[in-house]
A and B are shown apart, each in its own frame.
Chain A
Amino acid sequence: MDQWNDELNGVFANYRAAVPDPEASANFMPELWRRIEGRRNLTIRFKKLTQLFMAAAAAMSIFFITMLSVPAFSGSDDDSSYVDVLAKAFPTDTLASHGILLRDAEANTK
């Protein structure tokens, strides 16, 4: 086993010698800076897109808030009570059209 270990160490040492540190090509630095600039431009574009999205989201939020805060036109029902509105929405004849029949006593109270 030790013999194999020693031989393997020898193989690794030979591999180190067989693959020396290569020299960089003349194009190495320009290409590196081109990639750095490319990534930077991509980041800037992404940032701009994010800002645009945020602005659109803010504008939509303001629009919805405005829509909700402006009271809707509701005609003459403004001062009527909940029971009145309910009675108007469901008159007895409407209930009858749905097959719901009120007993006489209940109908008379309406």
Chain B
Amino acid sequence: MSNSILQYVFYLVILVVLAIPLGKYISKVMNGETVFLSKIILPVENFIYKILKINKDEEMGFKKYAISALAFSAFGLIFLFVIQCAQKFLPLNPEGIGGMSWDLSFNTAASFVTNTNWQAYSGESQLSYLAQALGLTVQNFTSAATGMAVLYALVRGLMKVKSKGIGNFFVDVTRSILYVLIPLSLVVTIGIASQGVVQTFKGHEEVSLLEPVAITTEGEIIENAKIQDNKVYVNGEQIKDAEVVTKQIVPLGMAASQVAIKQLGTNGGGYYGVNSAHPLENPTPFSNMLEMISLLLIPVALCFAFGRDIKNKKQGIAIFMAMFILLVGFMGITAYSEHASTPAFTANPAVSTSVDGQIGNMEGKETRFGIASSVTWASWTTAASNGSVNSMHDSYTPIGGMIPMLQMQLGEVVFGGVGCGLYGMLGFAILAVFVAGLMVGRTPEFLGKKIEPFEMRMAVLVCLATPIAILIGSFLATILPSTADSLNNAGAHGLSEVIYAFSSCGGNNGSAFAGFNANTPFLNVNLGFVMLFARFVQMTACLAIAGSLAKKKKIAVTAGTLSTSNAMFVFLLVLMVLIVGALSFFPALALGPIAEFFEMII
């Protein structure tokens, strides 16, 4: 137990210690200052601007910025859709995998373009190497970079005075890819490949089994089978038509490079179906640490970058503290619940409860990660809108599984995705100053900019796009009888599977209660639209705020100005996030995980 606590604390410490310098670096890069990599990267950067025929100092207004972001995402979506449908006829497909169905391909394309990376498919059996590299890996980079770009448009909106421009979309995306995402990915790829994450052009490997397994023609395992000379006997009688399986498949491919960016870009779409629980995607505690720190590193760093950008480090720290308090609280509840386990283990005297590090609910968790490293990941991946997993959330205890769900429902603002987490949280900050302004009877302002009805309306869209998408999408799914066929568990947990799926897509997270079979035309299309709505409504509203704020003048700070960087404001911000989340989702959670919890203890 003491080791578990040590792990929780150290993971958090390492994360923050690395994020602080990275935040400074990101801030420099995005503001066009010189950094240590400039010498190597600047020529490449300028070359890209030359092809695009843009002047990097030319600023875009809100509309042009938004159109660029939306058009870039739309073309990415179409390209990805086509490549997945046509993979059968394209090169780099050693397994000869067939094309994806239109609905699954739409769902997957929407998923990767929106930085959700919800997966209704399994990569090792349904995607060619080409589709993984040229399709998914690229979107992993660009969707994260788009999030960072939009955040910086908002930052400029807050900083600029009586100006029309909020930066240049192409410059922002180019810089975040070249200076931030690619260099970090290089380091992480090499780190995890050294541990055994595969990275090869070779097709899947076949190896011999130490113990052959007998199966029926339908692929069912034959129990108590004796195998002799390739013949199968049960209780001395030969079973005809039985097949003896003597080989295992070891799926390979270019995984390490894709895994690195899926962690760093808060994407989370696994190379393999079971994501970073797969031993070839995450083979050791060290690879696990690298991948886990990566998944929250940039969102945390952006808080500090934000403080430097607006020349008010205290403000950055205040936002960081609000997120950090929520993260630690949620991590604590999940950890407590998973260590406490369920009656299936604790009430059975034949089961040991004293295995070091594995005290708790081990169903769906890997031996090398035990409880502590699994819980930390689960909590971080749903705080960040990453959505990769190293254990199966579907097999968490009721409360242990509810917390990840809740973190997504809060709109992914507990650090959240690269860029989008912070701009979501700034939406909540605007909401908070408005509420505080109402209470004391003053015109609300944030960082010297007056918050007026237009900003308020847009901020409400930023904060409510996720709940609206989740609730409407899951409402449609639950009234459709066929959804019940997709469930892997009965009762309250079955409802949890549906709520989790829609929370994940609405929060642009991408993790799953993976027993839920989401690969049906209705669910693919429904979830696809949920992802697109939540992402692009929020993004456009955020850019609209940026455009409107940029035009305003700065108001001087007076004694009556509400401080937005003290403990009082941090408390108010945390409260805003929890209230909006609780009001939107308490009824749904009460019928799902909370009901299951009471069923379990009674």
Task: Note whether A and B form a binding pair.
Answer: no
Residues of A whose CB lies within 8 Å of any CB of B are: none
Residues of B whose CB lies within 8 Å of any CB of A are: none
